[in-house]
Structure 1
Amino acid sequence: MHEITQNLGLHSPSITLYAFHLRNSINQGEEPTVVEAPQLWEQLIDLGNKLHIPELQTLKQKLICYQDNQYFPQAEDSLGLEYSNLLRNQEQSLNFRLIPRTGGLELQGLLCPFRLHDSYAIDLTLCSQDTFSIPQLSNLNYDNLLLPPQIQASLGQTLLLFGQPTELQDDYQYLANTFVAQILSERNSTELVGTGYLLGNPIFEYESAHTDPAQKLHILVWFKCQNMNPDYMDKVAEILLYLLWCRHKIQYVYYQSRWCDRQTKKLYGKLPEYERRFHQITQVANPQWQLRQLQVDLSNIGLEYARYLGELADHENTIAINEKNYRNKLEKLESLPETNLALWHQFLRYSQNKLEQQIQTDLRFLERGRDRLQLLKVTVQESIATAPVESQSRFNGNSWEQPGVTSFSQNSHYHEYVAITNDMPGIPREIYPRLKEALSDCPQFRDYDRLLDFFDGNYELKPWSDELKRASSRGEQAEKVIGYLVGEYHRDTGENVLLILLRLLNDQIKTVNYLYQDLSKLIQELEPILAPKSNNKPTLVVLHNNHSINDSRKAEANPKGEPMPYIAADEKLLNCARAVARVTVPKIVNGNMRQIPTGTGWLVTSELALTCWHVIEARDPKREPPISVSDLQKQIANSIFTFDFTQAGFGIEYGLVQMEHDNLELDYAVVRLRDRQDSPLQRRRFLRLDADIDFKLVTQLYVIQHPKGQPQQRSGGFYKSDLESNRILHSAPTEEGTSGAPILNVTNFQVVALHNSENETHKLREATKIQAILSDLQHNRPKLYDEIIAAQSQNQE
């Protein structure tokens, strides 16, 4: 039985709180930090108030990340470092004294606040030169103020108790148990998880059973039983901060992965319900509308499912990175003399064998759900395409017309004298009132002239401006526009014109506006409903003297003389589209993820793809410095090319092996894609290059693109002029996210230029000639040039 004498205690005891708090997250959007980022500093200020420490009470005045007592994290960006001290005037620490509470014990303190990559960290130490008896040790953690709930660092915290025992012991572990019990309250329980030696002195590790990192207790007790080299002590202090940060980051990320896993499994559990619903729908007489509703629901669940799967994969990758950093710091500690830290190797094995493997198991299981969901979506899509088209209920402004009942209101759909009677898209009754209200709230609907100017000012809407009808109120104007555009489709893009209007209106509104959210949701709901049905050709009915009669001559009329493209051309365009991908590049600044912008890219061989350099760099040259080599490599390693992204929830992703070549002046980059076993790139073909084209004003162009990261779209335009010897100007509509898109010659479907950006001076778009890109490659990367030319020489027909 162990006995502890009353005189036993610690010479020069100290307690150090290492706390780590999340500053940045991939999910923070455009905000500079997560919302809870300043919480750690607020908790320290509150601690200062409770312990009457003026230096902590006025902490905001001493931190770089505060201006006029307001949190201002942008001030840290000027530091340009992944590791930095956050005290003003480059002070190393904030020193203070703790006013004695009981027993006349005086404590000194120091605070070192840091930023470590995407985290905040503190080293808060309380110490004394006196000798503390065992009961007096509780003063080091008075009222448990150094533990949760006073300090709730999101990533976790560690308490380190250090001191020299007043008496030599045969069993330091029992002594450590006694000291830990003294500095904790009865409600806080921990268990010994490991022992070791650091600089020849015993160290003990304790941990609670909490899974939430902000509530978990992690305690180290390090006894000074023999003298240690001060230089080695300084190295321990520096390395220990990083080591503990990596440890807590691993546990935090795994805790977050459990939430993702639960959410994804909830979605997985809904799949049988959706499958039963599909089978029930296929038994009804007119399944079209219900199938479309099911398609919308599946698209929504598919997006959510994919997001959670992506986050799980990110969590696995983050744990692996922190394991590597943890191992590196642990090896540095173990290189010190008389050091044996097998207890911390146990944690590394636990992380690899338990945490990482659990996430990998979850991913394998949940990927089956993704495949099952994808199969159901494809089946529903095929059913929509083959199911008979029912007459749908329509809202005429006052009431819903029932299926099977022919009714023509005064405001006939589409044209004044012509109405489509079969295959005419309908707006579901639960959507129509919201659509009418949203359009009425748009400023363009305040008066007819303003709306007409909006149509005339947008290339995609201009063909419909001549027949735009005037109304007496905003609500009536919305009804007329819905009725007019609901069945109209753009001849170039095939997109429903009502959807085009909604998208253009939404582009004019700030994303924080409620109307933006309403329009975005309406677009998402209406996209599958208003998709053109290629299998059913509409029958036209002429309205004459309140009677409807069939007139084949009127059905064949083309009053505007619009061109009718050959189906063969559409087939060639679709073949080209399969070589075009959305490019997703995480913007990483000083190792921290800021946002995920998108662009467009395309295959030039079975492995090589072209896109813009500025898409890969993900920087604004007017406002930001050039990208660092480290950040560039991280961005390349995490970039994704998504092919076949023709609607939400679809697409096949390929990562990058490396960037083969780039040219800032020509704004292009050649990247090599990482192939997949389940969908090899060789099946996909690649785009042909036309470097010898003689551009003329009649040269018509196609641009296959992913504007704003949306599903694949196509626009048409003409060559306008040479901007310089290496660039052209063209008139095809583009948007942010089109950068890197191929510009095809309509006559032969070969790529003649790489789209770069909008030219504000000329109010046109600019692109780099393929001839200039090939010339640059031939001069600077001849082997890469030869690889491309050899592939281009193959017969892909």
Structure 2
Amino acid sequence: MVAETQLETVKNPKLTLIAFQLRNTLQSGNDPINTSDHLWEKCRELGIKLGSPQLKNLIKQLQKPDGKIGFASTDNNSNSDHIPLLKPDPNTFLDFYGKPGVNSPQIKGGVYPVQIHDTYAVDITLYRPEAVVKVSELQTFLNPDYCLNPDFINSDLGQTLLFWAEPMGAENQSDFINSCIRGLFPPTEAELLLKHPPGEGQLFGSPIFEYQTPTIHLLIWLNNSPETQQLESQGGYYEPLINLLCCRHKILYAYRQSRWCYQQAKQLYQQLSPHLQTIQELPETTRQKLDILKQELTKLPGLSFEYFNYIQQMKIHLNTIETNLRNYQTCVKNLENIAIPEDNLPFLQEFQAKARSIFIEQIEVDLEYLIPGQELFSELINTIRGLVEIEQTECDRSLEHTIQILGAGLGAGGIVASAVSGDIERGFLVKNDQHQYMLNPGISALFWSLLVFVVVGGVVGYVNGGLIEWYNSYLKKR
């Protein structure tokens, strides 16, 4: 079988990379985000890798005088959401040539950068026009050093590879396609692509197949009739197709982000249990209890806000999926309008159904699970705030009680002490009228002032304590 597949050839093959990168987000407004130029930087790296000065200097042909690339929504004077970015003639592909190595064949290709809504897209196509190439040599001409693979381009929204070729010398179509995949990709990725049956359809009278792994989205379109060649060369399908792929990758990206947000929110929800246990096991002393409650009150609002933010992000991702699904359906209709009667693209319909029945429903279920947790965060914070107010009030009452006791005792003792302050200066022992030594009356008065301090403070403390106890029991009865 290996010897036979080596004899298989393809005519006029080309491999197209269509990659997508966010230009701006809801948070950034109309300004490009920090990673928006990722695609153009990768084009520069690809130009170095392929030895192509046109690709290497592509970014210079995209930048406006202010150094920015593309358009904010307020700057776009066109009625179209599909805006070519090349200068001076934005409606043409920029041809490029390269030579990856001294012994490598010359590489031919074209690049077409475009902006779709808030997203950059780039089409990089490597081709061998009017050439017949062995299947085993496809990687050499169309994907040298696997430069168009996702692990090199690594765009944030994702990418699609479209392989177009006219089969020659192939007796079995399935075996031929398998050989092409093995000729274009590393063995591990090729086997992953071949692991599951592809989606099948027909476009412009020729078969088209869809392969999908977690990292690669591949379309293989075979040129089996002159009509296909003619309609493909006219390019009427191109704008609907690239817009459709943009919507598709945005839907998948939003779903991945939503699942990530769900996992982060779930971890925060699990952190509630220790806080609940802390509240249930508060110490008896008011001061310790108050310190712990205040510590909880400094931690929980931050967790609550983070939890709330993940829920809001999930709602945004849900809206993104719903919006792009509607746009995707419009793109499918546009493709169907230019297709010929016998065409059929069921795998496009299958993706729509999957987006509705899996992506949207899953996010809605996740939100139903998380939203009660948001209410629990709020209730716990409000409960702690209430406890802090109660304990702080008790602490203030205790302090006020102590101050009243000390104030009454010190006041009474001070009156006595001031009355005898003159006697204290005479010394510890003094002589009486009989010239006998005796205890200084001031010292004796000081003793009595201390006794008065203790007695009066105790009486005040007892009275206040009884009043407080009566007031608390009165509140309970109410």
TM-score range, shorter chain: 0.7 to 0.9
- Distance in 1 (CA, whole Å) between partners of 2:2 and 2:237 is 32
CA deviations 1:489-529 (Å, max 9, x no partner) are xxxxxxxxxxxxxxxxxxxxxxxxxxxxxxxxxxxxxxxxx
Count of aligned pairs between the two proteins: 387
Partner of 2:247: 246
Verify: 1:85 aligned to 2:93, yes or no: no
Q: Is the 8 A contact 2:70 2:115 kept in 1?
A: no
Paired residue secondary structure (1:291)? helix
- Distance in 1 (CA, whole Å) between partners of 2:309 and 2:104 is 58
Q: Is the 8 A contact 1:176 1:204 kept in 2?
A: no
Partner of 1:285: 286
Q: Is the 8 A contact 1:246 1:322 kept in 2?
A: yes
1:409-558 alignment, distance < 5 Å: none
Q: Is the 8 A contact 1:64 1:76 kept in 2?
A: no
- Distance in 1 (CA, whole Å) between partners of 2:210 and 2:103 is 29
Q: TM-score, normalised by structure 2?
A: 0.74
Paired residue secondary structure (1:21)? strand
Query: 1 or 2, which has the higher strand percentage?
Result: 1
AA paired with 2:246?
A: W
Offset of 1:280 from its aligned partner?
A: 2.5
Verify: 1:264 aligned to 2:268, yes or no: no
Paired residue secondary structure (1:26)? coil
Query: 1 or 2, which has the higher helix percentage?
Result: 2
AA paired with 2:306?
A: E
Offset of 1:56 from its aligned partner?
A: 0.9
Partner of 2:113: 113
Aligned counterpart for 2:319 among listed residues 306, 317, 320: 317
Paired residue secondary structure (1:247)? helix
- Distance in 1 (CA, whole Å) between partners of 2:18 and 2:401 is 73
Partner of 1:308: 310
Paired residue secondary structure (2:150)? coil
- Distance in 2 (CA, whole Å) between partners of 1:66 and 1:183 is 40
CA deviations 1:272-294 (Å, max 9, x no partner) are 11111222237442434433332
Offset of 1:168 from its aligned partner?
A: 5.7
CA deviations 1:745-781 (Å, max 9, x no partner) are xxxxxxxxxxxxxxxxxxxxxxxxxxxxxxxxxxxxx
Q: 1:247 to 1:74 in 2, by over 3 A?
A: closer
Partner of 1:649: none
- Distance in 1 (CA, whole Å) between partners of 2:75 and 2:89 is 13
- Distance in 2 (CA, whole Å) between partners of 1:278 and 1:217 is 50
- Distance in 2 (CA, whole Å) between partners of 1:250 and 1:63 is 27
Verify: 1:347 aligned to 2:351, yes or no: yes
Q: Is the 8 A contact 1:47 1:56 kept in 2?
A: yes
Paired residue secondary structure (1:96)? strand
AA paired with 2:193?
A: T
- Distance in 1 (CA, whole Å) between partners of 2:295 and 2:392 is 16
1:613-692 alignment, distance < 5 Å: none
Q: Is the 8 A contact 2:170 2:176 kept in 1?
A: no
Q: 1:74 to 1:219 in 2, by over 3 A?
A: closer
Q: 1:236 to 1:126 in 2, by over 3 A?
A: same
Q: 1:341 to 1:403 in 2, by over 3 A?
A: farther
Partner of 2:198: 193
Q: Is the 8 A contact 1:173 1:204 kept in 2?
A: no
- Distance in 1 (CA, whole Å) between partners of 2:295 and 2:364 is 34
Q: 1:78 to 1:90 in 2, by over 3 A?
A: farther
1:13-412 alignment, distance < 5 Å: 13-28=13-28, 32-65=31-64, 78-81=75-78, 82-92=81-91, 93-99=93-99, 106-128=106-128, 129-138=130-139, 139-167=141-169, 169=171, 171-188=172-189, 189-191=192-194, 192-208=197-213, 210=214, 216-228=215-227, 230-231=230-231, 233-281=234-282, 283-286=284-287, 287-335=289-337, 336-337=339-340, 338-389=342-393
Identity across aligned pairs (percent)? 29
- Distance in 1 (CA, whole Å) between partners of 2:76 and 2:84 is 9
Q: Is the 8 A contact 1:134 1:182 kept in 2?
A: yes
Q: Is the 8 A contact 2:150 2:159 kept in 1?
A: no
Q: 1:234 to 1:404 in 2, by over 3 A?
A: farther
Paired residue secondary structure (1:88)? coil
CA deviations 1:644-701 (Å, max 9, x no partner) are xxxxxxxxxxxxxxxxxxxxxxxxxxxxxxxxxxxxxxxxxxxxxxxxxxxxxxxxxx
CA deviations 1:1-57 (Å, max 9, x no partner) are 8984543211111111100011112344x7822211111100100100111111111
Offset of 1:136 from its aligned partner?
A: 1.7
Q: TM-score, normalised by structure 1?
A: 0.46
Offset of 1:257 from its aligned partner?
A: 1.0
Q: 1:342 to 1:75 in 2, by over 3 A?
A: closer
CA deviations 1:292-344 (Å, max 9, x no partner) are 33233222111111111000111111111111111111122233112111112
Partner of 1:781: none
Q: Is the 8 A contact 1:264 1:366 kept in 2?
A: yes
- Distance in 2 (CA, whole Å) between partners of 1:18 and 1:39 is 14
AA paired with 1:190?
A: L
- Distance in 1 (CA, whole Å) between partners of 2:178 and 2:369 is 42
Q: Is the 8 A contact 2:265 2:370 kept in 1?
A: yes
Q: 1:104 to 1:363 in 2, by over 3 A?
A: closer
Offset of 1:389 from its aligned partner?
A: 2.7
Paired residue secondary structure (1:35)? coil
Offset of 1:73 from its aligned partner?
A: 5.9
- Distance in 2 (CA, whole Å) between partners of 1:249 and 1:238 is 17
Q: Is the 8 A contact 2:25 2:118 kept in 1?
A: yes
Q: 1:59 to 1:405 in 2, by over 3 A?
A: farther
Paired residue secondary structure (1:33)? coil
Paired residue secondary structure (1:202)? strand
Paired residue secondary structure (1:90)? coil
- Distance in 2 (CA, whole Å) between partners of 1:307 and 1:174 is 50
Q: Is the 8 A contact 2:30 2:73 kept in 1?
A: no
Partner of 1:430: none
- Distance in 2 (CA, whole Å) between partners of 1:325 and 1:239 is 10
Paired residue secondary structure (2:137)? helix
Q: 1:388 to 1:109 in 2, by over 3 A?
A: closer
Offset of 1:375 from its aligned partner?
A: 1.9
Q: 1:341 to 1:369 in 2, by over 3 A?
A: same
- Distance in 2 (CA, whole Å) between partners of 1:356 and 1:204 is 26
Q: Is the 8 A contact 1:40 1:151 kept in 2?
A: yes
- Distance in 2 (CA, whole Å) between partners of 1:140 and 1:405 is 88
Q: 1:382 to 1:100 in 2, by over 3 A?
A: closer
Q: 1:25 to 1:383 in 2, by over 3 A?
A: same
- Distance in 1 (CA, whole Å) between partners of 2:73 and 2:322 is 27
Paired residue secondary structure (1:257)? helix
Identify the structure with bigger relative contact order (alpha carbons < 8 Å, sequence gap 6+).
2
- Distance in 1 (CA, whole Å) between partners of 2:326 and 2:54 is 37
- Distance in 1 (CA, whole Å) between partners of 2:335 and 2:71 is 34
Q: Is the 8 A contact 1:38 1:71 kept in 2?
A: no
1:684-763 alignment, distance < 5 Å: none
CA deviations 1:129-149 (Å, max 9, x no partner) are 211111121121011001133
Q: CA RMSD in A?
A: 2.8
Q: 1:403 to 1:240 in 2, by over 3 A?
A: farther
- Distance in 2 (CA, whole Å) between partners of 1:167 and 1:225 is 13
Structure 2, unaligned runs of 5 or more: 404-478
Offset of 1:83 from its aligned partner?
A: 2.7
Offset of 1:391 from its aligned partner?
A: 5.3
Offset of 1:98 from its aligned partner?
A: 3.3
Q: 1:103 to 1:50 in 2, by over 3 A?
A: closer
